[in-house]
Amino acid sequence: CIDLTDSEAGHNEIETLNGFPSLMSLELLTLEHNRINQPEDMKQLKLCRNLVELKLGGNPADEDKLMNHSSAD
């Protein structure tokens, strides 16, 4: 079991969150300046139940669109 509370994954050319692990302890995730283009991928982050801060700026998909999908049911 991984007890990770924050992750800096900016500037890594990440294109998708498909297969992103369910990190229950994760509170902060930085995904700025990657290549995330599919807002639907954000739904994967719902499995990170303790996530309180998500940074998505600088991705091809509009940040507002990404945020809306991360919180949508």
What pLDDT, in 10s, does the model give residues 46-66? Answer: 888 999 999 999 999 877 777
Q: Is the pLDDT of residue 24 over 80?
A: yes
Q: Is the pLDDT of residue 34 over 90?
A: yes
Q: Is the pLDDT of residue 32 over 90?
A: yes
Which among 18, 37, 31 is positioned nearest to 57, based on CA atoms? 31
Whole-structure pTM over 0.75, yes or no?
A: yes
The pLDDT assigned to 36 comes to 92
Residues 70 and 55: their CA atoms lie apart, in Å, by: 11
Which DSSP category does 64 fall into?
A: H
Q: 40 versus 10: which is more confidently predicted?
A: 10
